[in-house]
Amino acid sequence: MTSSQTAGRVPPFGAGSFGQGSFSQGSSGNGAEFKAGGFRDGRFPQDDPFSLRARGSKALEGSSPEQVMARLDLLAHLLDTAILLPGNRRIGLDAIVGLIPVIGDAITTAISSYIVWEAKRLGAPRWLLARMAANVAIDGVVGVVPIVGDLFDAAFKANRRNVALLRKHLERSGALKPSVIDVTATRLD
């Protein structure tokens, strides 16, 4: 490659003054700039060629607590109460996927952990995170037991509990508007 072909690209290792000077990516649009000691975010473009890390973090940064709670409500509904059974009982994908021995419970526990991660991102206190993690752990550990665990998954509904705990905390802290308004009715006759 000639010097005109390498313009705008990272020079190969051992190519002279790699750790010095300034480097701009040009018109590629991902905003990587070379500074002394590496790129702006500490990684080289080869580590993330499609800039997925930057897009993912930007998408989550703009989410309001209302948007996050709407996502978590939907996820908890799918996992715990999406399917109506005869007799007016509800189960979710957690109980159905949990029928697959070991792997099913590992998958649903990982998905349930997302709710705890979002709570941490929203600034929930450690005691609340611990309580939510305990709900997920109980659901995951008991769910491993073959038939009894699946019945427990259908009844315990750890995800609905965790979303309710997070909503209550956010409403008390003022980060979220109350979903229920407490009022007293007065007759005007």
Render pLDDT for 31-66 as a digit per residue (tens, 0 to 9): 445 444 445 555 555 565 666 555 555 545 657 889
Place of tokens 């002394």: 36
DSSP-assigned letters across all residues of 32-50:
-EEETTEETTSS-GGGSTT
Predicted structure pTM score = 0.64
**Residue 20 in 3-state DSSP?**
coil
> 7-21, 131-145, 167-181 — which one is most confidently predicted on average?
131-145
Whether 30 shows a pLDDT value over 80: the answer reads no
Q: Render pLDDT for 130-161 as a digit per residue (tens, 0 to 9).
A: 999 999 999 999 999 988 988 998 899 999 99
Q: Give pLDDT, residue 43.
A: 55
Whether 72 shows a pLDDT value over 80: the answer reads yes
Query: Could you give the CA distance from residue 30 to residue 107 in angstroms, rounded to a whole number?
Result: 33
Distances (CA, A) of 3 to 10, 13, 45, 127, 161: 12, 15, 20, 58, 61
Place of tokens 């508007």: 177
Give the residue-averaged pLDDT of 78-83. 95
Amino acid at 18: F
| DSSP one-letter code for 106 | H
% residues pLDDT > 70 (the chain): 66
Give the residue-averaged pLDDT of 81-97. 93
Give the residue-averaged pLDDT of 94-114. 93
Residue 121 contacts residue 175 (beta carbons within 8 Å): no
Whether 75 shows a pLDDT value over 80: the answer reads yes
Query: Could you give the CA distance from residue 70 to residue 154 in angstroms, rounded to a whole number?
Result: 22
Average pLDDT of every residue of the chain? 78
